[in-house]
Structure 1
Amino acid sequence: MVALCSYETTKLVRIHSVRLGSLKWTLNATVLLFICLVMLWNRKYQQFDQVVSSVTAKVKGVAHMQLPGEGGVIWDEADYSGFLQDKNSFFVVTNIIMTKSQKQGRCPEPPSSGRRCQHHSDCERGAWDQRSHGIQTGSCVKFDALARTCEVVGWCPVEAKNKPPRPALLASAEKFTVLIKNNIRFPAFNFIRRNILPEMTESYLRKCRRANDSLCPIFMLGDVVNRAGENFSTMAVEGGVIGIQIKWDCDLDHLTRRCLPAYSFRRLDQKESNKTLSPGFNFRFAKYRTVDGVEERTLYKAFGIRFDIMVFGQAGKFSFIQLIIYIGSTLSYYALTTILLDWLIGTSCYVAEEGQNYSERKVESIPDKKECILCVSYVDEDDIRLVKMSRKKRLQDAKSIGVQARREDIGHMTATLCLLTEPRSFPATFSQPCSSPPPSWCKCGGCSASPIPQEELCCRRGSEGPCVASSALFHKLSLQRTLLEALILYREPFTPTPPDGAALRRCAYRQYVAWRLGEPPADCRPAIPRCCVTRIREAFPSPGGRYGAFALAKHAAT
């Protein structure tokens, strides 16, 4: 029931800093500017629809060419472009190989495509392969004075040439023109348009050319090939495939309405003949006639350029839903400001003391109950060491997991100085009490042995020297009874006087911690050297001679 009636929220820390505040708003303004630029550039506030299109093409031009054995011949669009009229593409013949007066009968295969032979047994009756011009009769006949080949039944004489003429016979097709009619529709917006714009009149179409008008739908074939990065005369020999790309990028908003085609060109096939087994583009067709009751034909192997027209694009129109979605998806970019500022606060790029203060206020660490981190101060070092407590290894030999600068406990030390009366003068140092030889881990000579490893800690870490418990300041702060009683009353005004030994010992421990450790790091517990604990217990002994062991309390011993 308690969980149902409770509410949890995020804790915020407000840092009053001109530098951080200025940096925060600068970064926020930069992120906002970036988001707005991306929104305007990519039109993220719009709903988009893909284009649906249809294309037709009409080629115009007349060419005069010299055919071997025929002389001059005139070809118009019905001759060079009446074939392979496919959807979204058109074809223009640029070169041909012609084989005249073919009749069905028997004839030898050319050596380049047929099987050479010496005897009839070398020819297989009824055999055929993809390079044959007919079906073998099983006879080996003479082709010319040097070669004999297998005889076939087919259209004779067979096609002998396989290399196209150079230069191309219809190289003049470079000056042919093509009218491309492209109708598009965006179903989501019920928007229809074509590349022949409403303002384009019949007289305009007669005169416009792509070279001086980027919207003109009439193209010269040579210009198309050149814009694709090719040479028309070279390409016309073996043919090829050219792609004409029409891109529609439409903005249908009233204030920024724009919907015009953009044309681009590229070659789609492999142009290097030595890199492909079948270069260019070609096909065969025949023209038939009857002479004296016998059917004859003229075979044409046509080389040419196929033009594939590819239409793609999109249209966008303002959508409040898309705008809200975009704003919601970009709000996460503002988290970059928080991440960067937190990183600056936690690194050396910022003042160390201020950064540590901010970090401690922002993050509340909860240590593992099974793990205790102790902070230790040595008289021969300036910093505080963080050590994991081990129940088997002595504290003096434990390896530190971190080092931090000591932070003064200003409030406690100020109260101590205010309550400190002028006592009788103390010597600079006090002699160590007589005791048994110090244990091996002791560096100051004032520590006593302990059966508990957690209490085996000396006031010095590396070098041997005087014990901190022998200093006059230790006696003033931790052993002066009048000061300790005043401090106890300062903290707890209704404490019975005189306080007992346990209260005095606890106050003496607090005095040592405030003096040597200052304000211990968060989630760390101070550890007091064995020599100091011994002197405090000797000054304020327990009546029964019994003391608490090393405790996981705010102060390390009782």
Structure 2
Amino acid sequence: MGISSKMVALCSYETTKLVRIHSVRLGSLKWTLNATVLLVICGLMLWNRKYQQFDGVVSSVTAKVKGVASMQLPGEGVTIWDEADYSGLSQDKNSFFVITNLIVTKNQTQGRCPEPPSSGRRCQHHEDCERGAWDPHSHGIQTGLCVRFDALTRTCEVAAWCPIEDKHKPPRPALLASAEKYTVLIKNNIRFPAFNFIKRNILPEMTEAYLSRCQHANDSLCPIFMLGDVVKLAGENFSTMAVEGGVIGIQIKWDCNLDHLTRRCLPAYSFRRLDQKESNKTLSPGFNFRFSKYKMVDGVEKRTLYKVFGIRFDIMVFGQAGKFSFIQLIVYIGSTLSYYALTTILMDWLIGTSSYAAEPGQTYSEKKVESIPDKNERVLCVSYMDEDNIRLVKMSRKKRLQDAKTIRVQTQREDIGHMMATLCLLRDPQSFTASFSKSQGHPPNWCKCGCCSASALPQEELCCRRSNEGACVSTSVLFHKFALQRPLLEELLLYRDPLTQTPPSAAALRRCAYRQYVAWRFGVPPPDTRPAIPRCCVTKIREAFPSLDGRYSSNEAEI
């Protein structure tokens, strides 16, 4: 049996419980919200091409710089520099370098000479110089001699290329500031392996005549750039940047749509400065390096040392290509279905708050939510004569029920069927004489009606009134007709169970009287709660139908 029941449970099907509310206002709001969510989802799908499969770009870049500039060097006159001089010295992958300024130290030969004070060690005697010593700031190896650098300064002698470079700050303005008119042709070949798609930034329709006259400043697809325009588009001034150099990034973005109907794959260029000019101003600003040119003069090797400043252009290629994929479309649709839950959340919030009518909202909550009560926590409902609604309170074994904190307040729901049966069975009121006596002795301080008796259990200390003093419900004619009229209670017991014993026991009559009071004062109690009957009414019912041994259950009044 155990295995069979498990198999039956395994083969069962469970579904979500739905609640349907017939309301034009709520229905219109629901479809409006659903349509809005659908439009947003479709818009995002088309904008971000979520229906496509994507692949990253694989790229190679080459750059060719052209331009000629003249430069006035001290002692040499006008010197002409072309691309072999200013761009062929530092070529890295996906980058090129253009010299814009320089410091020249001519006719250096290997020998001994005093080092400049700015980079060497000052001295007064030979003992101040250490033979063979070297540090990162020096240009040679110390010989151990202290020699005169000028009329006022003595420094340690070094074995080095002499004369030693003694200038550190580049000339202003830059000697090759006219390099802003140089042009560079960038050739970029890309490939998307997943789609076997190959393209280059020199498009098929670009002829030799077109490339000979186009400039990127006038044509966004032209691959020929003037260096001054590149630096300007990066937000910098070429003349200022040319003094100490820097690093400029040329970004090429490929965002390709390879679907036949919307096919588009063109490069987009952008520019920005990569080195932090402000924060690096006090420590090695700009970009520079050294190189030298050698020659033999009368059998002696000489060289010209160049400390060059310039701009390095880094070419960065990134992008993706997309093509329609049915699988990606299904994945996107599945991931966006959860957005429709926003409609349900908003609708539930509107119904559950004051934005919608209170009574339909309460009914909707009861229909939709099925609560499982906590066995360790009991919720009681209380009906006071001086209030129209029903209070839900938590039962405590230490605090009297009259003073218990209210969880929430609900509207009473009439038990029409039970009340109709009671009225049909109700006897002639003249055949019953009611007794309206109050309880003997002084009532406890929590009693407001004056008819309650003290109890040893805090959960039984409940009055029929909340705060206002007045007549007790147990003294009313209706209470006596509904709860204390024995013939009526016997007829009700017989109505509920035609085979019940006659006459019924006092315990059965008490329980029937309690149910009568609950149907009268509570109607249909809220789910997962138990009605609490006031102490004054419990006392009257027990007096009318007493127990033979005088003992009563502590929870017999909780129906």
**Aligned: 1:468 with 2:470:** no
Contact 1:210 1:216 in 2 (8 A): yes
Secondary structure of the 2:5 match is coil
Contact 1:270 1:276 in 2 (8 A): no
Gaps of 5+ in 2: none
Tell me which moved more, 220-229 or 15-24. 15-24
Match of 1:294 among 276, 292, 300: 300
Match of 1:445 among 438, 447, 450: 450
Secondary structure of the 2:218 match is coil
Query: Against the structure 1 CA distance between its residues 541 and 54, is the aligned structure 2 distance closer, same or farther, given a 3 Å change threshold?
Result: same
Query: Against the structure 1 CA distance between its residues 399 and 178, is the aligned structure 2 distance closer, same or farther, given a 3 Å change threshold?
Result: closer
Secondary structure of the 2:333 match is helix
Aligned to 1:539: 544
**How far apart are the structure 2 equivalents of 1:265 and 1:215?**
14
**Aligned: 1:87 with 2:93:** yes
The residue correspondences of 1:540-555 to structure 2 (distance < 5 A) are 540-541=545-546, 544=548, 546=550, 548-551=552-555
Query: Against the structure 1 CA distance between its residues 220 and 453, is the aligned structure 2 distance closer, same or farther, given a 3 Å change threshold?
Result: closer
Contact 2:439 2:452 in 1 (8 A): no
**Aligned: 1:257 with 2:260:** no
**Aligned: 1:3 with 2:6:** yes
Tell me which moved more, 19-28 or 161-170. 19-28
**How far apart are the structure 1 equivalents of 2:175 and 2:276?**
22
Query: Against the structure 1 CA distance between its residues 393 and 175, is the aligned structure 2 distance closer, same or farther, given a 3 Å change threshold?
Result: closer
Shift of 1:165: 0.9
1:549 maps to amino acid = S
**How far apart are the structure 2 equivalents of 1:451 and 1:239?**
94
Match of 2:520 among 511, 515, 519: 515
Match of 2:218 among 197, 212, 217: 212
The residue correspondences of 1:39-118 to structure 2 (distance < 5 A) are 39-118=45-124
Contact 1:430 1:471 in 2 (8 A): no
Shift of 1:308: 0.6
Contact 1:386 1:401 in 2 (8 A): yes
How many pairs are equivalent? 553
Tell me which moved more, 84-93 or 142-151. 142-151
Contact 2:201 2:266 in 1 (8 A): yes
Aligned to 1:458: 463
Aligned to 2:510: 505
Contact 1:60 1:176 in 2 (8 A): yes
Shift of 1:372: 2.3
Gaps of 5+ in 1: none
Contact 1:426 1:472 in 2 (8 A): no
Secondary structure of the 1:30 match is helix
Aligned to 1:556: 558
Match of 1:342 among 341, 348, 365: 348
**How far apart are the structure 2 equivalents of 1:218 and 1:280?**
25
**How far apart are the structure 2 equivalents of 1:274 and 1:183?**
35
Match of 2:287 among 274, 281, 294: 281
Shift of 1:130: 1.4
Aligned to 1:38: 44
Contact 2:439 2:450 in 1 (8 A): no
The residue correspondences of 1:203-242 to structure 2 (distance < 5 A) are 203-242=209-248
**How far apart are the structure 2 equivalents of 1:517 and 1:255?**
70
**How far apart are the structure 1 equivalents of 2:483 and 2:539?**
12
1:343 maps to amino acid = W
Query: Against the structure 1 CA distance between its residues 70 and 452, is the aligned structure 2 distance closer, same or farther, given a 3 Å change threshold?
Result: closer
**How far apart are the structure 2 equivalents of 1:169 and 1:217?**
28
Aligned to 2:531: 526
1:465 maps to amino acid = G
Residues 187-219 of structure 1: CA deviation (Å, up to 9, x unaligned):
111100000001111111001111110000000
Aligned to 1:357: 363
Contact 1:242 1:306 in 2 (8 A): yes
Shift of 1:274: 6.4
Tell me which moved more, 55-64 or 28-37. 28-37
Tell me which moved more, 339-348 or 444-453. 444-453
**How far apart are the structure 2 equivalents of 1:290 and 1:245?**
45
Aligned to 2:326: 320
Aligned to 2:437: 432
Secondary structure of the 1:3 match is helix
Residues 51-89 of structure 1: CA deviation (Å, up to 9, x unaligned):
000000000011111111100111111011111111101
**How far apart are the structure 1 equivalents of 2:455 and 2:100?**
106
Contact 1:407 1:519 in 2 (8 A): yes
**How far apart are the structure 2 equivalents of 1:528 and 1:167?**
100
Residues 440-490 of structure 1: CA deviation (Å, up to 9, x unaligned):
543323233445544333223334432111122222332344544554455
Query: Against the structure 1 CA distance between its residues 93 and 484, is the aligned structure 2 distance closer, same or farther, given a 3 Å change threshold?
Result: same
Tell me which moved more, 413-422 or 32-41. 413-422
Contact 2:139 2:160 in 1 (8 A): yes
**How far apart are the structure 2 equivalents of 1:244 and 1:437?**
97
Tell me which moved more, 33-42 or 215-224. 33-42
Contact 2:65 2:183 in 1 (8 A): yes
Tell me which moved more, 533-542 or 323-332. 533-542
Q: Give the superposed CA RMSD.
A: 2.4
Shift of 1:431: 3.3
Secondary structure of the 2:235 match is coil
**How far apart are the structure 2 equivalents of 1:434 and 1:154?**
122
Residues 12-40 of structure 1: CA deviation (Å, up to 9, x unaligned):
32332222222222222121111111111
**How far apart are the structure 2 equivalents of 1:371 and 1:75?**
93
TM-score (norm 2): 0.92
Query: Against the structure 1 CA distance between its residues 425 and 501, is the aligned structure 2 distance closer, same or farther, given a 3 Å change threshold?
Result: closer
**How far apart are the structure 1 equivalents of 2:185 and 2:389?**
86
Match of 2:377 among 345, 365, 371: 371
1:3 maps to amino acid = K
Aligned to 1:15: 21
Contact 2:291 2:305 in 1 (8 A): yes
